[in-house]
Structures are given as C-alpha cells and as structure tokens.
Amino acid sequence: MPIADLTGPFSLLVVDAVGPLPETERGNKYILVLVDYFTRWTEAFAVGALDSITFVDAMVNGVVPRHGVPSRLLSDNGRNFTSDVAKSFYQTLGIKKLFGAAYHPQTQGLVERFNGTLIGMLRMHVEEAQTDWDVYLPRVLFAYRTAYHEALGDTPFFTLHGRDPILPLDVAFLNLGKKWKRNEVAQYRRELYR
C-alpha cells in the first residue's frame, strides 16, 4: 500500500472493528474504529452491530461532518465493508476503497495496534462488570489524541489542529500565577519532549 501518497489529513483512513465486548446498558457490543494515516487521529464509535448500515451511518454522521470525505478507505474484506450498501456509499462520495490482503494482516497494522491500546486504556476505567465501557470511550479517545506519539513527533491533536488543546491540568497550572502565559505552556511541553 503506497503510504507515500498521503496528501494530507484524512486522505487515507483505516477502518476496523473491536468486539464483541460485554454488552453495555445502551446496547453497544462493538467499537467501530477509524485511524487517519496522516495524523494518527482516531475515531471510535460504540455500536450495537457491525452491519453495513451501522458502518455507513458512523461515516455519514460521525466522520464526514467532522473531517470531510476521505479520499481512500482501507479495510479488511468484512461483509460490512464490501456489501452493496457500502459500495454505493463509496461510489456516491467518490471514496477509493482499498482492501488489506487476508494473508497479510500487517497492512492494517496501524489500526490493529490502536485497537490493543484502546482496549488497554478502557480496562483502566471500566467497572468490574465491564458494561460501561462506552461511557468512557470519548475520554479515552481524547487521552490518546493528546498523547505524544514518537512517530509523529507530536500529538495527533496538534498534528490535525495545529495547536494543543487546553487540558484540565493546563487550566489548573495556568491559574497558579501570572508567571506563565497560555502560549508558553505549549512551548514548554514541546521542549520537555525533545
């Protein structure tokens, strides 16, 4: 797969699914995961099923309104990504569909690694019955998106938005005194990572 063809954020999305997980009180059993190859930005949706309608709904109502239409989408050969509904979606929006080789699962290594990280992060937050993982999903995603990534040399959040988010810790730190200005904190953080 030609990674050198990346033209910018959301030019290549990799999609996969995690589950089945313990069913939540809201009826969710799976996580539909998408990773942008350029920025390493992740989107993940708690869903009750992994059918084509659910996939297209997550794209139309979750990914496209936030990030626009991706140029290419890489997935495995799962029925939810190859059905007539999915093909119609790709054709309507002009998305070039790519498939990872069944005999070479490393093609989707980026999303597979994230899936393992995501499950590990969720385990730290869920209750013993594990039926509340979908409640913590947005916060876990935020933590991942704002964590430093060695391969990027920054965070996915900064890579996508060109700025650091104001974190709760930053607010507490900024309120300690007038010694630090808001823009100095981001610079200080970058220097710590060098």
The DSSP result for 68-108, as a single string, is: ---SEEEE-S-HHHHSHHHHHHHHHHTPEEEE--TT-GGGG
Interatomic CA distance for residues 122 and 155, integer angstroms = 20
Query: Distance of CA 85 to CAs 78, 98, 154, Å?
Result: 13, 16, 37
- pTM across the whole model: 0.82
Q: In the chain, where are the structural domains located?
A: 3-149
- Among all chains, which residue has been given the structure tokens 């993940």? 44
| Per-residue pLDDT of the chain in tens (194 residues, 90 and over written 9) | 445 578 899 999 999 999 999 999 999 999 999 999 999 999 999 999 999 999 999 999 999 999 999 999 999 888 999 999 999 999 999 999 998 765 555 556 778 788 888 888 888 877 776 888 999 999 999 999 999 999 889 999 999 999 988 887 777 666 555 555 656 666 776 776 66
Evaluate whether the domain defined by 3-149 bears CATH number 1.10.1520.10: no
